[in-house]
Amino acid sequence: GPKPSGMPELRENRIAVSVFALVVNEDVRLRDLSTVDVRRLYRGEIANWSELGGPDLPVHLVSRDANSGTRQVFQQRVLGRGEIAHSSVDCVHRDDPSAPVIRCELDSTEQVLDTVAELPGAIGYSELNRAIGIKGLHRLDLDGDPASVDAIEHGTSSYPYREIEYAYTYGQPPADSLASSFLTYLARGNGQDVIRTHGHVPCWTPEGMELCGRGGP
């Protein structure tokens, strides 16, 4: 995301729009959730998937730690607030009897995806490209919009769980420096192909310039 205030020498360079996804265990047969229901889930207001028309399974919120950028984007772009306090160490048992739902925090995307794939009733979040092709879970649409780089790039989706990725330098790097060359690589030709291959929308395509120029997706 954009730089915080009070850092005048920090120069930001918009590179790409990254897309993220909510994932659920395969036993949770729902394929689409409204943003309203996602917020209810993460406020602890829904304890069983049957309340949303899903199977009779308790909800397990499998989250990232507070320093996670994926979590911060989720809170800003989807929830509009922070998540409730965690109530479980192992994601299975409720350590706080007063907690409305089971919620745990894990240190890596891999741990989140592995846990969601193994734990019936689990829901978590991840970078889109990391969540593709994993057995035992599936991605959720939000308000009918899929987590799709192509749909976002071509303006056919208002999918909210995305954010601009930046490269930062201390001031303007010299034109003949390695840092300047790398920024040029990211903005032209092969660098854009690499960015797209890894599931992001490059900022320097015509479509990407419109997305990245809005001050936020």
Residue among 98, 75, 99, 201 at smallest CA distance from 147: 201
Q: How buried is residue 114: exposed, middle or buried, by Cβ count under 10 Å (0-12/13-18/19+)? A: middle
In the chain, which ranges are E strands? 10-25, 32-33, 60-64, 102-106, 122-127, 137-139, 141-142, 162-170, 200-202
pLDDT at 215: 44
pLDDT at 217: 44
Q: Which two tokens stand for residue 185?
A: 């690589």
Measured in Å, how far apart are the chain's first and last C-alpha atoms?
Answer: 11
Strands 200-202 vs 10-25: parallel, antiparallel or unpaired: antiparallel
Query: Please, what sign has the CA dihedral across residues 207, 208, 209, 214?
Result: positive
- Tens digit of pLDDT for each residue in 24-77? 999 999 999 999 999 999 999 999 999 999 999 999 999 999 999 999 999 999
CA separation for the pair 169, 79 (Å, rounded):
31
Residue among 121, 118, 125, 74 at smallest CA distance from 102: 121
Low-confidence ranges of the chain (pLDDT < 70): 214-217
In this structure, which amino acid lies at residue 28? V
Q: Are 6 and 153 in contact (CB under 8 A)?
A: no
DSSP 92-121: SS-SSTT-SSEEEEESSHHHHHHHHHHSTT
CA separation for the pair 93, 199 (Å, rounded):
35
